Amino acid sequence: MISNLDKKKFNKVWQRILSSDRILLVSHINPDVDAISSLGVLIEVLKTYNKKYIAFAEKKGDDYHYLPNFEDVISDKDELLGRVGDEFNGGIKAKEDFLKYFDLVIIVDCGSIERTFISENIHIAANLMLETFIVEIDHHLPVKTYANIEIKTQLSSATELLYYFLKENKLEINRNMANCILAGILTDTGNFLYSSVNEKTLEISSEMMSLGAQFPKLLNSTWRNKNFLEMKIWGTALNNLKINKKYNIAFSVLSYEDLNLFRNISQDLSSDIFGDIVAFMSSLSEANVVLLLREEEPGKIKGSLRVGSSDKDIDVACLASYFGGGGHKKAAGFMVEGKIVKENNRFKIQ
26 closest CA partner among 46, 10, 42: 42
Interhelix angle 175-188/199-210, nearest 10 degrees: 150
DSSP per residue over 287-348, as a string?
-SEEEEEEEEETTEEEEEEEE-TT--S--HHHHHHHTT-EE-SSEEEEEEE--EEEETTEEE
DSSP string, 55-88: EE-TT--STTTTSTTGGGEE--HHHHHHHHHHHT
Chain residues 17-56 in contact with Mn ion, contact rule CB under 5 A: 34
Q: Which of residues 161-190 bind Mn ion (CB under 5 A)?
A: 188
* Residue at 344: amino acid letter: N
Report the distance separating Cα 277 and Cα 287, nearest Å.
Answer: 15
Binding region for Mn ion (CB under 5 A) out of 81-89, 110-118, 155-163, 331-339: 155-163
Q: Which stretch binds Mn ion (CB under 5 A): 11-19, 107-115, 214-222, 324-332?
A: 107-115
Q: How far is the CB of 80 from Mn ion (least distance, A)?
A: 22
Q: Which residue's CB is nearer to Mn ion, number 188 or number 258?
A: 188
Contact 156, 188 (CB under 8 A): yes
**Of 237 and 331, CB closest to Mn ion:** 331
Chain positions 252 to 311 lying near Mn ion, rule: CB under 5 A, are none
Distance of closest approach, residue 48 Cβ to Mn ion, in angstroms: 24
State the minimum distance, in angstroms, from the CB of residue 35 to Mn ion: 6
115 vs 337: CA distance, rounded Å: 17
By CB under 5 A, name the one of 24, 46, 113, 158 that touches Mn ion. 158
Element (H, E) at 128: helix 119-128
Question: Which one of the spans 93-101, 152-160, 170-178, 310-318 is the region binding Mn ion (CB under 5 A)?
Answer: 152-160
**Shortest gap between Cβ of 49 and Mn ion (angstroms)?**
25
Are 289 and 307 in contact by the 8 Å Cβ rule? The answer is: yes
**Chain residues 215-254 in contact with Mn ion, contact rule CB under 5 A:** none
What string marks each residue from 60 to 99 as x (binds Mn ion by CB under 5 A) or -? ----------------------------------------
Which of 58, 188 has the CB closer to Mn ion?
A: 188
How far is it, in rounded angstroms, from Cα 133 to Cα 116?
16
Q: Cβ of residue 180: shortest distance to Mn ion, in angstroms?
A: 12
Say what the alpha-carbon torsion angle 109, 88, 60, 327 is, to the nearest 10 degrees.
-20
Smallest gap from Cβ 10 to Mn ion, in A, equals 18
Cβ count near 265 (within 10 Å): 11
One residue of 103, 109, 160, 272 binding Mn ion per CB under 5 A = 109
**CB under 5 A: which stretch of 59-67, 143-151, 154-162, 232-240 binds Mn ion?**
154-162
Q: How far is the CB of 43 from Mn ion (least distance, A)?
A: 17
Name the closest residue to Mn ion (Cβ). Answer: 34
Binding site for Mn ion (CB under 5 A): 34, 109, 158, 188
